[in-house]
Structure 1
Amino acid sequence: MDKIHINGIKIYSYHGAIKEERVLGQYFIIDLVLHLDLSMAARTDDLSQTVHYGEVYELVETIVKGEAVSLIEHLAGKINAQLFDRYAKIVEVETTITKPNPPIDGNYDSVGITLKGKRER
């Protein structure tokens, strides 16, 4: 299976289980791996045979800037579900969401999750 990678989408928003996260906000970094067959796009040079990266970015931005959620796991689930709804070509998706500066005392670079999804047939 072929893959499209969209890496380092950086969006400021207000998600989190702690009240301060929803008041102050923080950056979220989203990385996507879209699994699909790209052979026709490779042969034909036709945008309709792939997934438009710009549209995917806009969809992710709308979701992340939208209604606040407590868990980034839930946020990733919303992204995966909407990608499957919009793009029939996507067979699997991996969404990684990283919080570079969560309100956790300690010495670390970031925290994050990766949620994988497969299209249900």
Structure 2
Amino acid sequence: MPQVGDRITLTGLRVFGRHGVFDHEKRDGQEFVVDITAWLDLTRAAASDELTETLHYGELAQLAAGIVGGEPCDLIEAVAGRIADEVMADERLSAVEVTVHKPTAPIPLTFADVAVTVRKQR
């Protein structure tokens, strides 16, 4: 499938999860923020105005929220990878990029954000 320039972007999805290397992160949990960009040909959706011809961004958000709020992982790399793999199950996509932010990561310094980005493509 050729890479297309059309894309759907979901930014700033906030979900409580229990991911982290430390026991207190799994016990207490924290908020994670997810950004997803999915590349697919939107020509048919634009012409037909039919939801079935595109990626339903509400379902995309629910899928990501289910993973972030689900089974704990040690690494946000694993969380991002799981989301990317599930999104790419839709054969219409040529690529997906998933960024998982951990704004309250246990770092004893002042910082604005920690994030991991995973990109998968066909």
Q: TM-score, normalised by structure 1?
A: 0.94
Residue 33 of structure 1 pairs with residue 56 of structure 2: no
How many pairs were matched up? Answer: 118
1:46-57 equivalence runs, <5 A: 46-57=50-61
Counterpart position of 2:15: 11
Equivalent pairs: percent with the same residue? 36
Residue 118 of structure 1 pairs with residue 118 of structure 2: no
Q: Deviations over 1:83-103 (max 9, x none)?
A: 112x22111000000011111
Residue 63 of structure 1 pairs with residue 60 of structure 2: no
**Partner SS for 1:68:** coil
1:110 is displaced (CA, Å) by 1.1
Is the Cα–Cα contact under 8 Å of residues 94 and 121 in structure 2 kept in the other structure?
Answer: yes
Q: Which aligned segments of 4 or more residues in structure 1 are displaced greater than 6 angstroms?
A: none
Q: TM-score, normalised by structure 2?
A: 0.93
How far, CA to CA, are the matches of 2:13 and 2:81 in structure 1? 16
How far, CA to CA, are the matches of 1:101 and 1:75 in structure 2? 16
Counterpart position of 2:102: 99
1:24 is displaced (CA, Å) by 1.0
Match of 2:84 among 74, 80, 83: 80
How far, CA to CA, are the matches of 1:111 and 1:13 in structure 2? 15
**Partner SS for 1:91:** strand
Q: In structure 1, list runs of 5 or more residues that go unmatched.
A: none
How far, CA to CA, are the matches of 2:37 and 2:115 in structure 1? 15
Q: Which amino acid aligns with 2:56?
A: H
**Partner SS for 2:93:** coil
How far, CA to CA, are the matches of 1:61 and 1:113 in structure 2? 16
